[in-house]
Chain A
Amino acid sequence: MTASDHFNSTHSAVDQYAELVLHNGRMYTLDPAQPWAEAVAMRNGKLIAVGSLASLQSLVGPNTRQHDLRGAFCMPGLHDMHTHPDLALAPRYSDDLDVGIEDPTPAQLAEAIHAYADSHPGDGWIYGQYWVRYTFREAGLTPGREWLDSVMPDRPVALLDRMWGTMMVNSKALELAGIDRHTSDPRNGYLERDELSGEPNGLLIDGAYALIHAAMPPTPVAVLRRAYRDGVHFQTSRGVTATKYVHVCENRLQALKELDDAGELTLRVEAAISWQDDIFPVRRRWELLGGERHFYRSARLNANAVKFHFDGTVEPKSSYLLTPWPQEPSWRGKLNLTPEHITDMVVDMDKRGLRVIAHCTGDGASDVFLDAVAEARRRNGYSGIRHQCAHSTLLHPGNLKRFQELNVIAEFSPAAWYPTPFASGARSGYGQERLKRIYDFKGVLAAGGIAVMGTDWPVASIDPWLALETMVTRQNPWNQEPDYFGEPISLEQALQVATLNGAYAMGLEHLTGSLEVGKSADLIVLDRDLFAQGPRNYIHRTQVQLTFIEGQLVYDRQALFADTSLQAVWEGEPPVIESKDA
């Protein structure tokens, strides 16, 4: 027999007593009227009392379960407002060709292609990695469609080179992608061509990959479901109760819905539909934006957001800045879309009730984005939709107050807000002056704006506790080096960023983000008091013991409730889904 549905509506029957009481806790509530509490009572997924154990005795009935927290620290669940478990994990789980040799000779490559074709019969794509150009040169061969056709003429083949600069495809792949000598080059790459005939020679450089990806079958739902499941499992066991999966398509939404239906979507997810096809193609973009997205909707899942890439990143100096890059006479970076495109799009999406999440690393990109939101507010009035500036790596000081004025969320991702060998090298590209005001939580908060954090895995670690610690220290969490990037904020501010501000960014501040009567019981119990000692090298080691979402126990590290009706969806240590950094 399947379990009955228990949704709450106006005239639902209400029990007199609480279902669960947690007491003897050190509860940091994020409610200014009552910053600390020792007990909470839950019923129908909601908090019906927050305070002292004595004050909620009237809610304890014969069937109320009481649990002694033994002084443990308890707080609202964390909000990770920008991450990508699918992008990190799906390639690991998809069954692509992996040649498995550092520098395969053309003969070894041909052998690997044949072996893959034999074990994957049919006429489907052979997609994978890696090959290297120099072994072709050493062998006196020219890589490209001619060579690949001689190896595998009748199935489409696309292989990436080890430096990620070139994709080699055969004639069948070009044909399926509709690429011929009339195809024009994209702005961010090109097709290598025969110099005399203009015919593509089967080598696609940089952004030209997308032409092939568009013709390939999408990543299967089963692969995406497995990737999201592991991501959700990890996040839940690290205390995340709400997240944004920024970049989805119809298959990704289907995978998330299947998890939801199976009871395994153990956190709230806002999924943002990709505006561009630069990461993966979205075949039903306009159906989704037009209303098909509502088919996936539940208390845990919504797709009322759209994500776009406005500028690039630091390393290739493609972030769009207001003034030229260091050592450059005029290079300011790149905008992928015109300001007019952005403006019309933001106005339109705003009117449709969709949150626009805009990738803006450079201060020029966020300036254009804020201008577009200002125009949307002028034309539409305030729609109630808080748009989101993603990464916000560099912000013009004059824009700090506009986040509050325009009701735009400033989202910061920890990829390089503290020094590491990687970050110190890569981010130094911005120059010393800009580095001082990188990821300016403090500036946005001081100007009254809403700042949130998003781990942006796999660009940075998906562990929210690393992000939380380094928000407070802005220092390397694994050593004692004195260097720091940007301006730290207090632990109290950081906790608000990671909880209540996240709820604002989801449009759910009435429902979650703090421990208050009437709000959803979304809370976590920790192994340590976050205020007990200095944050450095301490906060990121936090273990989450229990995670509740809508009053449901979803994570139970020590399996305390294993034999009860409250048994958690996930038990034991968090799964290992990323290599340990140190």
Chain B
Amino acid sequence: MNTPSIPVTVIAGFLGAGKTTLLNRMVQQAGGERLAVIVNDFGKLNIDAAIIAEVTDAVYSLQNGCICCTVQEDLLAQLTSLAKLRPALERIVIECSGVSDPQRIVQTIGYPQLRAALHLDAVITLVDASGYSQLEGEYARLSRAQVASADWVLLNKTDLVSPAELQDIRSGLGCRAPVFETVQARLPEALLASPPSRSVDLKFSALVQPHDQLFESWTWHSDQPLPPRALREWLARLPAQLLRLKGLLRLEGNHQPYWLQHVGSRSQFSPAGEQTMEHAAQMVFIARRGSNLRQILEAQLRDLQGS
């Protein structure tokens, strides 16, 4: 049972926000990665699936409308069968219907029968900067739900609005997740390529090329286990400039090692099973370049261990 858990990326956003553009970009960037895509063609006659089918043959299209509310057991079944594919998949991407709340999909990924095989990596919500402020009623509520569920928000089509409008939209989003302004859903590659998944031979090393203009990455390790309660409080306070954090840790009072994943503002622990651990705690960080978080966070971690 050394099959690594498959990371699942959920892409949400309104019709026309750029989900399919992002999806196609992810498929093209995947290179040799074994990627499965679940698309949802609510009211779109499969046009999106046709585009994607040109790129990869692992396309799963839900024809029956909205994933979140009508095809949930179906999604559960699809994920179960995708998790059984051998050689194993390295990533699953789910494109939500434009009029759905991704929370339902997140809840489906949480089903006990899937937990051992896959995990939620990130919810990416696209917002159409040129259309967001016109949404009303139930659409406005859905859009809020999509933004609130996000680990990262892509404020897309920013070339179509003025800087002042953009500022209004940003402050109106009211979300706690990091917001990226993009054109044509160009999400930085470093964010999509998640750190190596839970393979047994995991090596912690910096994930971003040193010359990257936008991001920086570093590793940290310690030979002392971390206190769980204080660690959780620390995680809850992490600043938005920290985009990803992955760790393999021992916790005080618990002999079992854990994987830790922090994306956007969401942290997840999962049992790491039998791992040979070089250190009692090791972490890899990705943050916005220039945020100068490394020293501050490392000092806080030392304080945690001292407390």
**Which residues of A are interface residues toward B (Cβ below 8 A)?**
102-103, 132-135, 137-138, 140, 163, 165-166, 185, 190, 192, 195-196, 205-206, 312, 315-318, 325-331, 334, 425-426, 428-429
Given contacts A205-B107, A327-B63, contact A134 B144 (CB under 8 A): yes
Given contacts A165-B103, A185-B112, A190-B111, contact A133 B69 (CB under 8 A): no
Give the complex CA separation of A425 and B69 in angstroms: 13
Question: Does the CB pair B73–A327 fall under 8 Å?
Answer: no
Given contacts A102-B141, A327-B61, contact A138 B73 (CB under 8 A): no
Q: List the A residue with the shortest CB-CB distance to B177.
A: A137
* 10 sampled A-B residue pairs with Cβ under 8 A: A133-B148, A137-B176, A195-B269, A196-B258, A196-B269, A205-B110, A317-B77, A318-B73, A325-B74, A429-B63
Q: Which of B69-128 contact A (CB under 8 A)?
A: 69-74, 77-78, 81, 101, 103-104, 107, 110-112
Query: Which of A134, A318, A329 contacts B149, CB < 8 Å?
Result: A134
Q: Which of A195, A312, A325 has the most CB of B within 10 A?
A: A195
Query: Which of A132, A318, A328, A331 contacts B145, CB < 8 Å?
Result: A132
Question: Does the CB pair A134–B145 fall under 8 Å?
Answer: yes
Question: Does the CB pair A316–B72 fall under 8 Å?
Answer: yes
Give the complex CA separation of A166 and B104 in angstroms: 9
Given contacts A137-B148, A195-B269, A195-B270, contact A328 B110 (CB under 8 A): no
Query: Which of A138, A192, A329 contacts B81, CB < 8 Å?
Result: A329
- Chain A proximity of B199: nearest CB distance (Å): 20
Interface size class on chain B is: 35 or more
- Chain B proximity of A424: nearest CB distance (Å): 11
Give the complex CA separation of A140 and B65 in angstroms: 32
Query: Which of B77, B176, B270 contacts A331, CB < 8 Å?
Result: B77
Given contacts A163-B104, A165-B107, A317-B64, contact A140 B74 (CB under 8 A): no
Q: Which residues of B contact A329 (CB under 8 A)?
A: 81
Query: Which of B70, B81, B104, B268 contacts A315, CB < 8 Å?
Result: B70
Q: List the A residue with the shortest CB-CB distance to B232.
A: A196
Q: List the B residue with the shortest CB-CB distance to A132.
A: B145
Question: Does the CB pair A331–B74 fall under 8 Å?
Answer: yes
- Chain B proximity of A75: nearest CB distance (Å): 40
- Chain A proximity of B80: nearest CB distance (Å): 9
- Chain B proximity of A361: nearest CB distance (Å): 13
Give the complex CA separation of A318 and B62 in angstroms: 15
Give the complex CA separation of A205 and B74 in angstroms: 16
Q: Which residues of A contact B306 (CB under 8 A)?
A: none
* B31 interface contact, C-beta 8 A: no
- Chain A proximity of B158: nearest CB distance (Å): 22
- Chain A proximity of B42: nearest CB distance (Å): 10
- Chain A proximity of B37: nearest CB distance (Å): 15
Which 9 pairs show the lowest CB-CB distances between chains A and B?
A: A134-B148, A195-B269, A137-B148, A134-B145, A317-B74, A316-B73, A331-B77, A429-B64, A185-B112
Q: Which residues of A contact B70 (CB under 8 A)?
A: 315-316, 426
Q: List the A residue with the shortest CB-CB distance to B60.
A: A327
Given contacts A195-B268, A196-B269, contact A133 B145 (CB under 8 A): yes
* B183 interface contact, C-beta 8 A: no
Q: Which of A185, A316, A426 has the most CB of B within 10 A?
A: A316
* B209 interface contact, C-beta 8 A: no
Question: Does the CB pair A163–B269 fall under 8 Å?
Answer: no
Question: Does the CB pair B63–A196 fall under 8 Å?
Answer: no
Question: Does the CB pair B107–A138 fall under 8 Å?
Answer: no
Give the complex CA separation of A540 and B96 in angstroms: 40
Q: Which residues of A contact B188 (CB under 8 A)?
A: none
- Chain B proximity of A167: nearest CB distance (Å): 12
Q: List the A residue with the shortest CB-CB distance to B258.
A: A196
Q: List the B residue with the shortest CB-CB distance to A312.
A: B73
* B175 interface contact, C-beta 8 A: yes
Q: List the A residue with the shortest CB-CB distance to B115.
A: A190
Query: Which of B103, B104, B251 contacts A196, CB < 8 Å?
Result: B251
Q: List the A residue with the shortest CB-CB distance to B254.
A: A196
* B174 interface contact, C-beta 8 A: yes
Q: List the B residue with the shortest CB-CB distance to A142.
A: B236
Q: List the B residue with the shortest CB-CB distance to A194.
A: B269
Question: Does the CB pair B149–A133 fall under 8 Å?
Answer: yes
Give the complex CA separation of A133 and B107 in angstroms: 12
Q: Which residues of A contact B68 (CB under 8 A)?
A: 163
Question: Does the CB pair A192–B110 fall under 8 Å?
Answer: yes
- Chain A proximity of B190: nearest CB distance (Å): 25
Given contacts A133-B103, A134-B144, A185-B112, contact A196 B73 (CB under 8 A): no
Give the complex CA separation of A137 and B61 in angstroms: 30
Question: Does the CB pair A316–B74 fall under 8 Å?
Answer: yes
Question: Does the CB pair A103–B144 fall under 8 Å?
Answer: yes
Q: Which residues of A contact B73 (CB under 8 A)?
A: 312, 316-318, 334
- Chain B proximity of A130: nearest CB distance (Å): 12
Give the complex CA separation of A353 and B69 in angstroms: 40
Give the complex CA separation of A334 and B73 in angstroms: 9
Q: Which of B111-167 contact A (CB under 8 A)?
A: 111-112, 141, 144-145, 147-149
- Chain A proximity of B188: nearest CB distance (Å): 24
* B16 interface contact, C-beta 8 A: no
Q: Which residues of A contact B270 (CB under 8 A)?
A: 195
Q: List the A residue with the shortest CB-CB distance to B259.
A: A195
Q: List the B residue with the shortest CB-CB distance to A103.
A: B141
Give the complex CA separation of A318 and B74 in angstroms: 8
Question: Does the CB pair A190–B112 fall under 8 Å?
Answer: yes
Q: Which residues of A contact B148 (CB under 8 A)?
A: 133-135, 137-138
* B228 interface contact, C-beta 8 A: yes
Given contacts A138-B148, A163-B104, contact A330 B81 (CB under 8 A): yes
Q: List the A residue with the shortest CB-CB distance to B143.
A: A134
Question: Does the CB pair B149–A326 fall under 8 Å?
Answer: no
Q: Which residues of B contact A165 (CB under 8 A)?
A: 103-104, 107
Give the complex CA separation of A327 and B74 in angstroms: 11
Q: List the B residue with the shortest CB-CB distance to A325.
A: B74
Question: Does the CB pair B176–A316 fall under 8 Å?
Answer: no
- Chain A proximity of B142: nearest CB distance (Å): 9
- Chain A proximity of B69: nearest CB distance (Å): 7
Known A316-B71, A331-B81; 15 more pairs at CB < 8 Å: A133-B103, A134-B101, A137-B148, A140-B176, A165-B104, A166-B107, A196-B254, A205-B107, A206-B72, A315-B71, A316-B70, A317-B64, A317-B71, A329-B81, A428-B64
Q: List the A residue with the shortest CB-CB distance to B74.
A: A317
Give the complex CA separation of A190 and B145 in angstroms: 22
Q: Which of B222-247 contact A (CB under 8 A)?
A: 228
Q: List the A residue with the shortest CB-CB distance to B256.
A: A196
Give the complex CA separation of A166 and B64 in angstroms: 23
Q: Which of B23-78 contact A (CB under 8 A)?
A: 61-65, 68-74, 77-78
Question: Does the CB pair A425–B65 fall under 8 Å?
Answer: yes
Q: Which residues of A contact B63 (CB under 8 A)?
A: 326-327, 429
Give the complex CA separation of A317 and B103 in angstroms: 20
Q: Which of B61, B77, B147, B251 has the most CB of A within 10 A?
A: B77
Given contacts A133-B145, A138-B148, A315-B70, contact A196 B228 (CB under 8 A): yes
Q: List the B residue with the shortest CB-CB distance to A315.
A: B70
Give the complex CA separation of A118 and B228 in angstroms: 38
Give the complex CA separation of A137 and B64 in angstroms: 30
Give the complex CA separation of A325 and B270 in angstroms: 34
Q: Which residues of B contact A102 (CB under 8 A)?
A: 141
- Chain A proximity of B186: nearest CB distance (Å): 26
Give the complex CA separation of A318 and B76 in angstroms: 11
Give the complex CA separation of A308 and B73 in angstroms: 20
Q: List the A residue with the shortest CB-CB distance to B144.
A: A134
Q: Which residues of A contact B258 (CB under 8 A)?
A: 195-196
Q: List the B residue with the shortest CB-CB distance to A136.
A: B148
- Chain B proximity of A483: nearest CB distance (Å): 19
Q: Which residues of A contact B175 (CB under 8 A)?
A: 137-138
Q: Which residues of A contact B64 (CB under 8 A)?
A: 315, 317, 428-429
Q: Which residues of A contact B74 (CB under 8 A)?
A: 316-317, 325, 328, 331
